[in-house]
Amino acid sequence: MQKSKSVFKSFFIEIGELSYFAGRFFKEVFSRPFELKELLKQCYNIGNKSILLVGVTGFIIGLVLTIQTRPTLEEFGAVSWMPSMVSISIIREIGPVIIALTFAGRIASGIGAELGSMRVTEQIDAMEVSGTNPFKFLVVTRILAATLMLPILVLFGDAVALFGSYLIENTKGDVSFVLYFNKVFNALEFSDIFPAIIKTYFFGFAIGLVGCFKGYTCSKGTVGVGMAANSAVVYASMLLFVLDFIAVFVTDIFIDI
């Protein structure tokens, strides 16, 4: 009983600290000096680091989804619905969530480990002593880069997934590229794409925030760095599902899905 109480207490303390950290981000993001050069460097690093992983993940999602669904649609004589079904499920839900999860695994742990090791080797203190605001230089730029890069990566991953699906349809059903993508674009509506893209901004923000929070507040030496990297992925992944639920709930209220 006592143990569960302290677990709850530390959980809420952590939520409070994360909220304070997010508040500090919003305070610092609009104040000068803007670290544009570092932001661009982080955008390049984060995008470049993840693009291959996102491409492979998207491609496999498209292949697997099409291979698994085909027999069922064939049974009902509805194979012609394949492009519509695959595109809507990938664009609305599977693409953003799975790509965000792989992004969390790659980027949240990377940021957590990088900032954590900078913290324990006093590099963050050295920045502070040299008169540079390390929060702005390290944290604000990484959170912004993750927020801006994830939607682009999700669009790329969705496109690769649809291409993977097309390859299966072309092999098994002799469907041409033009016909497949005509059906895809006919099936998709504004209400499918817009909410899905908007939620990826929140996913990117959450991943960057949790990675930075865990790394920046890291303690306990090298063991702490490992813990920061590990818990950054776990917390970011959990937060993604919570945000996804909220996004679907809100979309359902405002847009007729």
Partner 1 sequence: MNQTENIFDTSKNMQDRKLMLEIVGLRKSFGDNHVLNGFNLELYEGENLVIMGKSGAGKSVMVKCLVGLMSADSGSIKVMGKDITKLNRAELDDTRTEIGFLFQGNALYDSMTIRENLEFPLRRHKAKFGTVEDTTPLIMEALESVGLAHTINLMPSELSGGMQKRIALARALILKPKIILYDEPTSGLDPITSKEIIELMRRVQKQYKTSSLIITHDVDCARVVSERMILLVDGTNYAEGTFAELASSNEEQIKAFFK
Which residues lie near partner 1 (CB under 8 A)? Answer: 114, 118, 121-123, 125-133
Cβ proximity to partner 1, 33 vs 71, nearer residue:
33
Residue among 114 and 158 whose Cβ is closer to partner 1: 114
Q: Around 227, how many Cα atoms within 13 Å sit in the side-chain half-sphere?
A: 10
**Is the Cα dihedral 91, 93, 94, 95 positive or negative?**
positive
- Measured in degrees and rounded to the nearest 5, phi and psi for residue 35 equal -90, 65
> How far does CA 150 lie from the centroid of its chain?
6
Q: Report in angstroms how near the CB of residue 41 gets to partner 1 at its nearest.
A: 10
Please state the closest distance from residue 35 (CB atom) to partner 1, in A.
9
Tokens 């925030």 belong to which residue?
A: 209
Rg (CA), the chain: 21
- Rounded to a whole number of angstroms, the minimum distance from the CB of residue 129 to partner 1 is 5
Which CB, 120 or 154, lies closer to partner 1? 120
Q: Least Å distance between CB 45 and partner 1?
A: 10
- Nearer to partner 1 among residue 123 and residue 237 (C-beta): 123
The least distance separating partner 1 from the CB of residue 29, rounded to whole angstroms, comes to 16
Contact between 205 and 146 (Cβ < 8 Å): yes
**Residues constituting the chain:** 257
Token reading at 185 = 């674009």
Residue 65's H or E segment, with its range, is helix 36-75
- CA-closest candidate to residue 92, choices 171, 13, 199: 199
Write the CA distances from 251 to 60, 197, 243, integer angstroms.
27, 12, 12
Q: Measured from the CB of residue 130, what is the shortest distance to partner 1 in angstroms? A: 4
By beta-carbon proximity to partner 1, the closer residue of 121 and 171 is: 121
Nearer to partner 1, 122 or 252 (CB): 122
